Amino acid sequence: MSFISVEQTCDFSYHNLPYGIFSTADNPKHRIGVAIGDQILDLSVVKSLFGGPVLSKHQDVFDQPTLNAFMALGYDAWKEARRTLQVLLSANESTLKDDISLRSRAFVHQTAATMHLPADIGDYTDFYSSRDHAVNVGTMFRGKENALMPNWLRLPVGYHGRASSVVVSGTPIRRPSGQMRPDQTKPPVFGPSKQLDIELEMAFFVGGGNQLGEPIPISRAHEHIFGMVLMNDWSARDIQSWEYVPLGPFLGKNFGTTISPWVVPMEALLPFVEPNPIQDPEPLAYLQHTDAYTFNINLFVSLKGELMTEAVNICRSNFKYMYWTVKQQLAHHTVNGCNLRPGDLLASGTISGPDPETFGSMLELSWRGSKHIDLGGGNTRTFLNDGDEAILTGYCQGAGYRVGFGSCRGTIIPALQH
């Protein structure tokens, strides 16, 4: 255990140790921190203590304003850093615990910190890997018999999103305007989206990349997956439904994507691994792996209207409901020789389970606006109102501890007047 006190229900236990980028009022420089309890360990202050065979030559990565350089060092460096942190924060290790001067400089209370995007995100890909979600949406738009497209059970379907509009938790999201066609007998109209939605997702950061033309085999995919965050991939359903044929989402998606600030290392998630879903038909050889890489991560979505005093839960889901694993997503992304780079972000797609309370979007919860979502006190929604705050949280539950992600939140502000 650690000499830092951690409540049993705190997301940031000694078993977690996620990485993030923070600044403070008295030091506006962006720097790398590790969360434990209600504290942040400033790695730029303790960088000289990373004396292992890999990091002793690269201590400067902990002086950078993003995680990209650290991610680029690769799998062995990440494992070495985690081992060092576990030792430094251990109750039995005096180096940090008993040096009062060093401790006073190295730790920052989380309430005193401003969080920033963890990485310079060069590229962002969004997959569509929840079978329950794909069936639900397909049923709404094409009917139950044609819910899944012929390729869906054969490969992890995905599209390239917009990296420039990925923002950190807490950033307001402006209601987008665009073309819509609410009446199919009339021409399209322009205006603010009336069907603004959340999407409960998770995403992983690519660590070490690959050379152009050289795929990453699935047997080594784990060496390129740095860690995971929560994601809300905001969606304007009315804009999306008019524009997406034949090339897929565009303005209905690229106006904003929110991620949580703390990147949970894959090593912290491994104790919560579960058997992979049975995939029938059997995937092609390049997508096959026998090792378990599906994770039991409890996920929640809450909504707080502008005049509501507290947020109300509208979804309880789990990452274990995913059909395609993150290893399969990464292997498929690179099988054609596409080069991934440190800091690239690959998202799961909306995470829905088999039951209505596990549906990860308001599109599903309201079944395309045909049902009201009850928020209590006479408040209901089908889609988001201006002033609504959406809050995503998630954690793995251990024996007396959690490995959690903090929160991923954003508030809708009104569309600009055109």
Active site residues: 133
Contacts 24+ apart (CB under 8 A), 27-32: 29/65, 30/65, 30/66, 30/116, 31/63, 31/65, 32/62, 32/64, 32/67, 32/70
Strand ranges (E), 128-239: 158-160, 166-168, 173-174, 177-180, 189-192, 196-197, 200-206, 225-232, 235-236
Nearest one of 120, 406, 165 to 263, comparing CA atoms: 406
Query: Could you tell me if 328 and 283 are in contact, meaning their C-beta atoms sit under 8 angstroms apart?
Result: yes
Strand order in the sheet with 113-116: 107-109, 39-42, 27-36, 19-24, 113-116
Amino acid (one-letter) located at 218:
I
| Phi, psi at 106, each rounded to 5° | -85, -25
Distance in angstroms (rounded) separating the CA atoms of residues 12 and 404: 6
Nearest one of 266, 239, 135 to 181, comparing CA atoms: 239
Structure tokens at 407: 């929160």
Rg (CA), the chain: 22
Tokens 């596990």, located at residue: 358
Distance in angstroms (rounded) separating the CA atoms of residues 410 and 199: 12
Structure tokens at 241: 């439904």
